[in-house]
Structure 1
Amino acid sequence: MKYWESVIEACGLSNAQNANWQANIETWINVSSLTTAKCVFNIMKNTLILLLLFCSNITFAQTYFEGEIQYKNETIKKDSSFDLTKIISWPSKKSVFYFKNGDWIQKPDTGMVEYQYFNHRANQQFYKIRDLDTVLFYRYNDLTPEQDSVRSTNTFYNTDTLLGKVCNRFVLQTASTRFTFVYSPDININPQWFKATKGGYYDIIYRTMKALYLKVIIETDLYISIVTADKIQRRPIPDETFPVIEKLAKREL
């Protein structure tokens, strides 16, 4: 029976299934003891086939990234007359990003915005302004008024190494802005979470990358914004990390 116990354990059967299989095997062995060695062999062979068929139907859940990423921010003027305060993240130098099951919240160290929060079930992105109780939000079912239509996309492989990970580049060009995302397939996410999210170009970005970015370069005629990960940690993120949107005082943009 030791051999069969190891086979059952390898198949990951539940206690009830385990007991059922062992009872069947004991019965077959008792019956086979009254028969010829050939019958014993056939019974063992058929039982093993059944076990292997059962095991082949076991599917293992995909493990997606859940955890924390710390980013550092840099902004470079291309036009000396440009007012940097028009950039929502200014003058933040770093931020912490928490991701879980398609939801994320990003908290900059300083600046006008206390946090940005995306809830994928509501398909809405929220902006909490410091010293303002009302939270502003966009519905991300469509592009926001500030967003241009996409002109082109390109993917380049094995272009960078960040935090010890070999990364690819995904470039998305709109009429006014060029977005370059540097990402590692190791930081994988489920693109289905964003399939209906046109706001922020999320549907295109995550359908292509299937991962979170470790670096993004946003370039316009006026400035370049560079956000680069300097620490990443896979860990469980408590639900309490995210605001409960039903309890928020909200105003749609």
Structure 2
Amino acid sequence: MRNTILLAFFICIFQITYAQSYFEGKVVYANTFKSKVPNVTGEQMGKMIGTRQEYYIKDGNYKTLTNGLSVSGQLYDNKLNRLYNKTPMSDTLYWFDPSMDGSPAVSFEIIKNKKNILGNMCDALIVKSAKSVTTYYYSAKYKLNASLYTKHHYGGWYYFLSKSGALPLMTVVDNNQFTMVSVAVGIESMRLKAEDFLVKPGTPVKRSK
């Protein structure tokens, strides 16, 4: 009987430890832009794309809420491997398959202990593609399960996670159109509901052309 109780105890401890090993919760990012496009300012880009982003993640699913005029939110469904976009002007969700990356990585470099963000010393992952250079700053404190995103290649997401295994606390994207800096200004671990990452019944859904 004693051995049975001890075994149950250790199984319980293992399950709790495993459940807490990956980050689940909310991150708030502040975004700034420097435009490289003639007659378009960084401020205008910020208004269109969004200067504030609330990011929620749980069990391979995530969703974002932004104050942008072009896209007000995104939802990633891990099981269906669909990425939904929502605009402020419509209730319709437009989805696409994120299996393809339009600008795949050609090289990467990791620099240890590069930057302190919200009290966390972060490593930097520098990813180069034919079209851009993206630098991610991340801390192992906020681990993510990369195996849940093996089909999410859009934006280099799986590539980043396969190298870092953690949530980005800061991302710097430099391409021909702009330089964007997205930095975490708040992060909170919390238990989220699975239904928060589902498309609500009755919501119009269309595939992006």
Interval containing the TM-score (normalised by the shorter chain): 0.7 to 0.9
1:204 aligns with 2:159: yes
Aligned AA (1:105): K
Aligned to 1:77: 35
Of the three residues 14, 26, 30, the one matched with 1:60 is 14
Structure number, greater radius of gyration: 1
Structure 1 residues 88, 174: closer, same or farther in 2, change over 3 A? farther
Q: How does 1:38-49 map to 2 (within 5 A)?
A: none
1:98 aligns with 2:56: yes
CA contact (8 A) 1:67 1:237 kept: yes
Greater relative contact order: 1 or 2 (C-alpha under 8 angstroms, separation 6 or more)?
2
After superposing on structure 2, the runs of 4+ consecutive aligned residues of structure 1 that deviate more than 3 Å are: 78-89, 245-248
Structure 1 residues 110, 140: closer, same or farther in 2, change over 3 A? closer
Aligned residues: 204
Contiguous gaps of at least 5 residues in structure 2: none
Contiguous gaps of at least 5 residues in structure 1: 15-54
* Larger fraction in helix: 1
Structure 1 residues 238, 85: closer, same or farther in 2, change over 3 A? same
Name the SS of the counterpart of 1:230 in structure 2. Answer: strand
Name the SS of the counterpart of 2:48 in structure 1. Answer: coil
Name the SS of the counterpart of 1:113 in structure 2. Answer: coil
CA contact (8 A) 1:133 1:249 kept: yes
* TM-score (normalised: structure 2): 0.85
Deviations 1:124-156 (A, max 9, x none): 11101112132111102223xxx2232211111
Aligned to 1:121: 79
Aligned to 2:144: 189
Aligned to 2:125: 170
Name the SS of the counterpart of 1:13 in structure 2. Answer: helix
* TM-score (normalised: structure 1): 0.71
**What is the deviation of 1:12?**
4.8
CA contact (8 A) 2:35 2:45 kept: no
